[in-house]
Structure formats: C-alpha cells, structure tokens
C-alpha cells in the first residue's frame, strides 16, 4: 500500500542512458519504503494508545462510581454520629454525667467478662 500522504505515484522509469535519473528513482523508492514503515509503526502506536485510553476510561468510571458511593457513606455516617451525639447530650442532660459513667463502666466490664469467658 502506498501512502496517500505524499501523493506518491509510481514514476516512469528513467531513460536508459541517464544514470542520475536512475539514482534519483532509487532514492525516492527507498524513502517511500521508509515512510511506509514509519507510517505503519505510527498506526500501530495509535491503535495501542486508543486501546489504553479505553481501558483508562473504564478504570476512571469505576473509580468515580466508588468515590460516589464512599461520599454517600460518609454523609450517612456523619448524620448517624451527629444524631448519636445529640441523643447522648440529651441523656446526659436528663440523668447527669455520673449515671452515664456507671453505665459505660458496666458495659465495658460486661464486655471484658464475655471476652475472657470466650477465650
């Protein structure tokens, strides 16, 4: 396949007695072959880069979906923590800090006993 890039056409063969024309035709043919080889290498590189771009696009889409899911999870966690702190403040306001400390210590002691019994 000849490249259309250079508008190359097969030139007529030079006259028999013209050594300069023969050499020029040989050089042009050699340049044409080199150009075709370079164009083939470029086509191969462009195809490979296109495939890599498609893979990167798919990976970016997956990462964006993951980040969107994480963002929603953080919002829900923040809302839950905020609600828990509000409820804890309400309980502490009604019952006082001393009772809350006893409940926390009792819960920790119960967990410790369960942990020791299971191991």
Domain residue spans in the chain? 19-94
- The predicted structure's pLDDT at residue 71: 85
* Chain segment 28-87, per-residue pLDDT in tens: 999 999 999 999 999 999 999 999 999 999 999 999 999 988 888 888 999 999 999 998
Whether 3 shows a pLDDT value over 70: the answer reads no
- The predicted structure's pLDDT at residue 45: 96
Burial class (CB in 10 A: 0-12, 13-18, 19+), 30: exposed
Backbone φ and ψ for 84, nearest 5 degrees, come out as: -65, -45
- The predicted structure's pLDDT at residue 20: 67
- The predicted structure's pLDDT at residue 90: 87
The SS3 of residue 117 is helix
SS3 content of the chain, % helix, strand, coil (to 5): 85, 0, 15
- The predicted structure's pLDDT at residue 64: 92
């Amino acid at each position: 396949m000849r490249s259309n890039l250079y508008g190359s056409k097969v030139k007529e063969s030079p006259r028999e007695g013209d050594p300069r024309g023969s050499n020029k035709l040989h050089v042009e043919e050699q340049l044409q072959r080199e150009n075709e080889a370079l164009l083939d290498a470029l086509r191969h590189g462009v195809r490979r880069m296109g495939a890599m771009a498609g893979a990167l696009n798919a990976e970016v889409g997956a990462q964006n979906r993951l980040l969107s899911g994480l963002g929603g999870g953080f919002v829900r966690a923040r809302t839950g923590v905020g609600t828990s702190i509000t409820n804890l403040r309400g309980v502490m306001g009604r019952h006082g800090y001393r009772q809350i400390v006893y409940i926390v210590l009792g819960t920790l002691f119960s967990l410790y006993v369960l942990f020791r019994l299971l191991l």
